[in-house]
Every structure is written in structure tokens, then in C-alpha cells.
Amino acid sequence: MNQGDVDMRLRGCAWWIGAAMLSLIAQNTLAIDDDQLPPIMPVDDVRVGMKGYGLTVFAGTKIEPFPVEVISVMRSSFVITPPRGAMIWITCTDPRMLESGAVQGFSGSPIYLWDDGDPNDLGKDGRLIGAFATGYKWSKGCLAGVTPIQQMRSGARRAPDELNEQQAASRHGGPSSAAPLIRAVLDLANAQRLPDDATWRARSILQLMPDANDEHVPYGRVSSRHAMPAADIDESVVASPSMMPVPAGSPYVARLLAPLLEPWGLTPLAAPGVSIGSPPPDIDPDKLEFQPGSVLSLPLLLGDLEAAASGTVTEVWPDGRILALGHEIFAAGHAEMPMATGYAHFVVPSQLMSFRLAGSVQIRGTVVRDEFSGVVGMPVEQYRLSPMIIGVKMLHHPQRKYNFQLVHHRDLAPIYAVYAAMLCVQDVQALPVDNTLHMTGTLRFPEDRQIPIDRLAPQSSLANIILELLPPISAMINNPHEIAMLESMDLNLSVQPHRTDARLVDAHIDQVRVRPGQSVDITAYIQRYGEPTRAHHINVPLPANLPEGQYEVWVLDARRYGELRQTTRPHRMRTNNIDELHQRIVDIVSVRDNALYVAIPKIQPALAVGRQELPQLPSSRRKVLVTPTVTDVQPYVELIEHRIDLDFVPQGEAHFQITVKKHPSAS
């Protein structure tokens, strides 16, 4: 897709309403009352046995009716304002739905019931009762719960408040934590049996979060309606809002994304073709409008490849307000997600849970309200996008470059930034069995904060991309200090069809007794994959003022060196503001893989006050600071450090002891 196509789909036609008109829209929407809207059937008028129809799209853009019958009306007894908490249960007797059962993607399909005396013509007459919203897994036939339209309209009347941009800015919420998502990523890495060398950066960034070790903090939307059932409860007997299907490319990508997206009510589907962003040629984007029963697409990633969740429009108000889904996306109240007209490829019947594959056509506004009863969209441009450029170089293929726009969302943006990279690297073929993935690029955040990416990963899988990109992005967005959304990402992925890993077989030190200012000479024996062992000579100069004593000498790979820095300088793992957090993340991700590190801990502990290091304090000053009356003082260990850059990735460690004396021959 070229940039012109992207701009067309982002901007649509002349219907866009500028920010200067938002207050006028708010005034007009506040004036809408029930007399201006189609008639509805209140929950109290619904009776078991009443019949009617629903509207939805089975394929393409054609809205089709399907017959329904009410089998139960449930009213909650503990809510304050009826009909909150009510649910109308229906059966759908259309042959297609008897085969498929409740379909993910049909959420929001409007349901109408006939009054006595209506001719009962399918698709005609009747009063709107609500939106197709929920169902059971594994159920036979088609049993669905309907969210009453009264609840949905109540949320729609709150939508104009979201048009005040200054108020909206405060609704993004306060500081949060990336810890639950990073833990989910590490669980994924564990399931993929990735080694510690692949996960140490993610584990280190996790430790920057105050709740790093609190595994009771749930990942995903915290809602009793979406909470996972207890381990001893069969999910097939738990009714929950219909998940929203999202194309995810290959089956492997879908499996990787499932534990990250399903807690948010999104089902990744293995559907390679539907990730392509252009609609079928027989669809005129400018003529396709939102209607009750039409496809509602919620793009999360736009550009050369697309990812979008999909549902169905329930009701369209005269001012262009859209009511949809009949259940929440995140139930966060305020929302800023683009909404687009859409089309359906087809419905996939499944014994577990059927789903509809759909795609976007043209963005027509913003979802501004997200409640348990559904979402509300308005014809305004109040979402934000971040550009991403991803280049891919693979043997026997020309270099490729992809352009994307990433939707701003605190929880989903990190996932879909990684999703884009995974799709690009395997757009043409899978990674070779023997490979080295070289990731380079820059992540940019507000106020010119940048995180460089330079990762050399032998024997990589797509999970390695998740581990390297998602934790730093998520930590900058969700942290105890402030929200720093990803503003842009430039990434290059170079795939080499050979391994660059190596093993530190052995090492020895030439002299164990040295003087201050002298060099420590080390010979490291390293065996690259498929090659014989070779000697590498390392020369580490010692400071001239190094005190006499016994010293440990460590020869380390990247992971062990990074972990040693973390344990010897624990004060750096506490951050007081976003700039300190940013710098610490940069420190972690900047440790080169293709290097050996020599680290010699100094024997005299230093002190840090907060994050300020005081390495050479006189003993009198140390005594003053190390007292119960002085807080935030912590000892740390200084390291004499030396890095040896290599063109391969070594793994392993070696350890020695040396004696430093000014006159070693005299002892």
C-alpha cells in the first residue's frame, strides 16, 4: 500500500470534522432525545417466546437478517438503576447460525422484536431491544445474550463529554505498571524454552517496576465479566462477552500473541491473507456507511499490513454517533481508538467458538466511550498515531521496507509494535533453521528520549523480537512516573543464514600478582559454532591508584555482565522520574551481545545517596553518612570494566583471583 492509499484510508473524504467544531458537536448531541431516535422495546416489555430478527454481515458488506426468539429475561437485583445488569437471552434459528453458534465478530448485531399485530416479515418492523453480545463456548445451537439498548444509550449520552480535549487528556489515567505484561512475555518465553541469555534484558526491565515481584497483579482488563474462571470450573459453562477476532498472520504468530491479546478480549486468528490492508476492489470506500448491522472495524495497526479488531454496529444516531458491540473492549470509560467501516470475508464455524474474518475499509471517526454496555463512536478525529518504518534484509531477497501507523493505546501499542516487526520479518519466508537475527534501530518517546536497539541474536525465533522490543516500550508507557507514548519506531531486521554463537571453553591469567597501574593479561579460549577453538588475548589495565589487596577477576558474556552490574549497583534499579527510568532502560539494552566483558569488583565499597554515586569518599565522610539518621544511603561496588568487541556472540564465564601489591617481588 502506498502512502496515498494510507492517507486516503486515514482521512476518508470531506466528512472529517475539525477540532474547532467539537464544541458545536457536543451542543448538538446533548439536544438529542428519545423522540429523535428509533423506537425501542424496554426490557420490562420483553417476554419469553417473543420473536424477531437480528441484522449482521455474514460476508462482504451485505446486511442480512436472521430470526431470533426470546427464551429468558434476566434482571439483576443488586443494581441501582434498572436496566443495568439485565440480559435478554435468545436463540437464533437461522441454519447458518445453528451450525456456527454464537459468532465472534457478531457482537453489536442489533436485535429487534415484533409486537403483537406486526406481520413478522424477517428484517422488517419490530422494535430494537439491544445488541447481540455474549455466548457460551461449546454450546450446541445458537444461544446468545443481548445487552439492552437502554444501557447502551445511557453510555452514548455520556460521549459528548469526551470531546473536550483538555478533559480527555486527563482521562488517560495515572501512572501504572508494565510488570503484568512483561511477566506475561517472560511466561511466553518460558513456554518457548528460550534460554536465560534471551530473557535477561526483559527480566532486568521488569525489576525497574515497583510491583516487579507481585504476581497477584492481574494482566489484562480487570473485569468480573472477563475474569478467567477458577481452575476447577469448565469454561464451557461460563458466559462471557464475545471475544473480538483479530487477524494475526501465521499460526505461529497467532500462538505467540494469544497469551498477550486474549486477556484483553481479542482473539488472534491465523489468517495470513486478511492482514493485507486494502479492501476488495468491488467496494467503494466513499459509499460505504455505518448502518445497524454493518461491520465495525477498530484498526490497531495501519499501513502495508493491517491489524484490526471487528464487531458490529447496533445503532446510528442523527448526529453520527455510533453504538456498537454490546459489551466493553477495555471498560476504561474514556477511549481514543479509530473506528472504520469494514467488510467480512466469511464466517468460520467452529465447535469451540465460531468467528468472522473481517477487515477495514475507511476510518470514519473515533471510539470515544468504552463501557460494559458497549462502545460509542463519533465522527471526529480524536485518536493519535505513531509512524513506524521497518526494514528487512534476508539472503536471496531484495531489501524490503514497510510503513505503518500505530494507534496510541497504553496496553496494546507495545504488542502491536512487536506484531508489525514479526509480520515483516516473515512476510516472504520463515526464519532459517540456522540463523542470526540482527536488530538495529531507534525507539523515540516524548522530549527527545530515545532508546537505541542493537541486538545480535543467534538461533532466533519470532519470540526473540517480542523479548527485545516489548519490555522497553511497555515500561516507558506504563510506569510509576508518567506516560511516555511511543512516538516513532525505526527498525531494521537483518537475517543471516548462519549461526554466530560461540562458547567460552576455558581461560587463564598470565600473572596472579600485579602492581597498581599494571595490566592483567588474560587468554580466553573460544569455540565458535562449527569451528575449532581459538585463543583470544585480553589486556586489562589497572588504575594506578588501585589499593592493595585480593581481587576477583570475572570474564563474562553479555547476560552475566548485565546481571553483575545490576547486583553491584542496586541503587540504580530505583527510579524517581521518567528520565531516570529512561536512562536505566538505555543502560540495560545497550549491553552488546557480541562482546566479552572483564569485570573486577573493587574491594572498598562505595556509597550512593539516592542515585548519586560517591565513589571516593574519605572515611570521615563515610561515617557521617552511614548512620541511622541519614536515609536513602546504600553501599555499592565499583567495577573496573573492560569490553572486548567481537564479531560473534560468546556465552560462558571464567573466574580468577589476583593479588595487587605495590612491590609484589618483596612479599
- Report the pLDDT averaged over residues 599-625: 66
Buried b (16+ CB within 10 A) or exposed e, 23-35: eebbeebeebeee
The count of other CB atoms within 10 Å of the CB of residue 536 is: 15
d(CA 629, CA 33): 66
Burial environment of residue 550 by CB neighbours within 10 A (0 to 12, 13 to 18, 19 or more)? exposed
pLDDT at 276: 45
Amino acid at 189: A
CA distances from 139 to 99, 226, 356, 572 (A): 11, 18, 17, 53
Cell of 106: 457478531
Arithmetic mean of pLDDT, 141-163 = 85
Residues 570-589, mean pLDDT to the nearest whole number: 91
- Report the pLDDT averaged over residues 341-362: 86
* β-bridge mates for residue 538, sequence order: 522
Does residue 401 surpass a pLDDT of 80?
A: yes
Whether the per-residue pLDDT at 241 is higher than 60: the answer is no
Position 109 pLDDT exceeds 50: yes
Q: What cell was used for 403?
A: 510503513
**Side-by-side strand order, sheet with 606-609:** 612-614, 606-609, 633-636
What integer pLDDT is reported at residue 175 of this predicted model? 63
pLDDT tops 60 at residue 641? yes
Per-residue pLDDT, averaged over 631-652, amounts to: 86
pLDDT at 418: 93
Quick one: what percent of the chain has pLDDT higher than 70?
A: 81
Backbone dihedral region of 12: left (phi > 0), alpha (psi from -120 to 50 degrees) or beta?
A: left
Confidence band for 238, pLDDT divided at 50, 70 and 90:
very low
pLDDT at 72: 92
| Res. 626: pLDDT tops 80 | no
Long-range contacts of range 426-431, CB-CB < 8 Å, 24 or more positions apart?
Answer: 426/249, 426/250, 426/253, 426/462, 427/305, 427/392, 427/400, 427/402, 428/394, 428/397, 428/400, 429/394, 429/397, 431/460, 431/461, 431/462, 431/495
Q: Could you say which DSSP state residue 49 is in?
A: T
Amino acid at 68: V
Q: Full-prediction pTM beyond 0.75?
A: yes
Query: Looking at residue 81, what is its pLDDT?
Result: 41
Taking residues 183-191, what's their average pLDDT?
93
Q: Which three cell numbers stand for residue 252?
A: 505461529
SS3 202: helix
Residue 36's pLDDT is what?
A: 85
Question: At 248, is the pLDDT very low, low, confident or very high (cuts 50, 70, 90)?
Answer: confident
- The more confident residue out of 140 and 133 is 133
According to the model, what pLDDT value does residue 601 have?
93
Name the one residue in this structure whose C-alpha cell is 458545536: 24
- Does 250 have pLDDT greater than 70? yes
pLDDT recorded at residue 465: 94
Q: Taking 80 as the threshold, does the pLDDT of residue 535 lie above it?
A: yes
Q: In the predicted model, is pLDDT for residue 623 greater than 90?
A: no
The β-bridge relationship of strands 143-148 and 240-241 is: unpaired
Alpha-carbon span 505 to 278, nearest angstrom = 53
User: If you write DSSP's letter for every residue of 183-195 in order, what string do you get?
Assistant: HHHHHHHHHTT--
Cβ atoms < 10 Å from Cβ of 432: 15
The grid cell for 205 is 526491565
C-alpha cell at 618: 574519605
Q: Are 431 and 462 in contact (CB under 8 A)?
A: yes
3-state secondary structure at position 153: helix
Residues 88/140, Cβ–Cβ less than 8 Å = no
- How many CA atoms, within 13 angstroms, populate the side-chain half-sphere of residue 147? 30
Is residue 593 over pLDDT 90? Answer: yes
Contact by Cβ (8 Å): 613, 565: no
The pLDDT of residue 240 is: 46
Q: What does 206-261 look like in DSSP terms, one character per residue?
A: HTTSTTTT-TTSPSS---TTTSPPPTTS-GGG--EEPPEEEE-SSHHHHHHHHHHH
C-alpha cell at 430: 520463515
- DSSP secondary structure letters along 538-577: EEEEPPTTPPSEEEEEEEE-HHHHHHHHHHH-GGGG--SS
Measure the CA dihedral 128/131/137/138, to 10°.
30
Q: What is the mean pLDDT of residues 64-78?
A: 85
CATH code for the part of the protein at 39-156: 2.40.10.10
Beta-strand relationship, 110-113 and 127-135: antiparallel
Distance in angstroms (rounded) separating the CA atoms of residues 144 and 524? 67
Which cell numbers in the block locate residue 105? 465478530
Residue 168 pLDDT exceeds 50: no
Residues 6+ apart with CB under 8 A from 396: none
Based on DSSP, count helices (H) and strands (E) in the chain, helices before strands: 13, 33
- C-alpha distances out from residue 617 to 197, 329, 342, 498, 610, Å: 36, 56, 67, 50, 15
What pLDDT, on the 0 to 100 scale, is given for residue 610?
60
Residues of the chain with CATH 2.40.10.10: 39-156
Distance CA 579, CA 568 (A): 22
Sheet holding 549-556, edge to edge: 513-514, 653-660, 549-556, 595-601, 639-645
